[in-house]
Every structure is written in C-alpha cells, then in structure tokens.
Amino acid sequence: MFIKRTELIFLVIFVILVSGSMVLEAQSKKQKIIPTSEDQEFVNKIRSDLGFNEEVILSVGPYYGLEKLNLSNGRIFSVGQDYLKTPSYLFFDDVGLVYYILIDYNFYKKINEAERRFVIAHEMGHSQNPTLRQSIVAEKAADLLALAYVGPDVAIDFLNKYYVSQSERDQRIENIKTQAAK
C-alpha cells in the first residue's frame, strides 16, 4: 500500500508539472505572436529614419480602461481617468527613459497590417512632438509622420472606421487630404 501511495503522489506531481509547463509554453507562444517581430522592426525603422535614439517598446496587452500600468522596469504608472480612452497611445517613462507604444490586445487583433502601421507610425509621431498635449493639433502632427509610412487612403479609412469624435475625425481627414495634395 505504501508503494502505491508513493507512486500516486509522484504521478500527481508529474501531471501537475507537465500541465503547468504546457500552459507556460502556450502563454510564451502567445506573447511571441503579439506584437509581431515585423511590428517591432517597423518601429525600429521609423526610429532609424528619424535618428531617434530613445528606446521604443511596442507592447500589446489589456490596457484599455486600466487604472494602473506595470511597466517592464517594474515601475507602476497611475493612469489618469481621461488618459486611456483610446485603444492605443504613446507613453514616456521618464524614469526608465523609454517610450512605450501601448496597443489594446482586442484592438490589435481587429486591425489589419496597414492599419497597424498607421497606428504605430502615428504614435511615433507623438514622440516627435512631446510638448503637444492631447489635442487636435497633436493628432494632426502625429498623422503627418504616419503619412510618410502609409498612404492617405489607409489613414482616412482607419479614421473613418475607428475614430469616435466626428468633428475631430473630419478635421484630421481634411488635414490628411491637404498634406497628400502637396
């Protein structure tokens, strides 16, 4: 009886270890997929084109509606109520001197590759104008950089599909059309 009990204990421990490693492996594979290496390469290309030396980390996760954000360096960032109303944004960690492009997971899955490039380039555009706060001026300035990497049709289609404020959307689209005509 003692041997059978010991064998049962070892069997249970083995099953727990195997199932635990399978879960970790599945989670690891998921993290490798989101964001794609192509997306990070695109971020790095923009950085190189701009001569932008600061580190930029593209991160996809459950950010939408968060009150606190745990950054990769362990720092906890308290999110203001108005700050995370969009499914993507640029955040500068002034302690770690790192820019984060944060994209909500569900939003990331929904948008296609061209739209992802627009979002990434747009957020990198915000890094070029750090003194501009959330405003239509800041959005238009970020759109200008994005237009260097995606066509105006991609930007306009994206805004028509996902931008909530009709007034701001119309202003941004008009600005994109004006820039594309130059």
Domain contains 8: no
Domain contains 6: no
What are the distances in angstroms from CA 36 to CA 62, 89, 128, 154?
16, 18, 24, 20
Look at residue 104 in the predicted model and tell me its pLDDT. Answer: 80
The model's pTM is 0.72
pLDDT digits (tens, 9 = 90+) for 76-124: 555 544 444 467 767 666 666 778 888 888 888 889 999 999 999 998 9
Range of the structural domain that residue 164 is part of: 31-181
The total domain count for the chain is 1
Compare 94 and 154 and report the one with higher pLDDT: 154
In contact, 83 and 128? CB cutoff 8 Å: no
Domain contains 39: yes
Q: In what order do the strands lie in the sheet with 55-61?
A: 55-61, 98-104, 88-93
CATH number at residue 137: 3.30.2010.10
Domain contains 81: yes
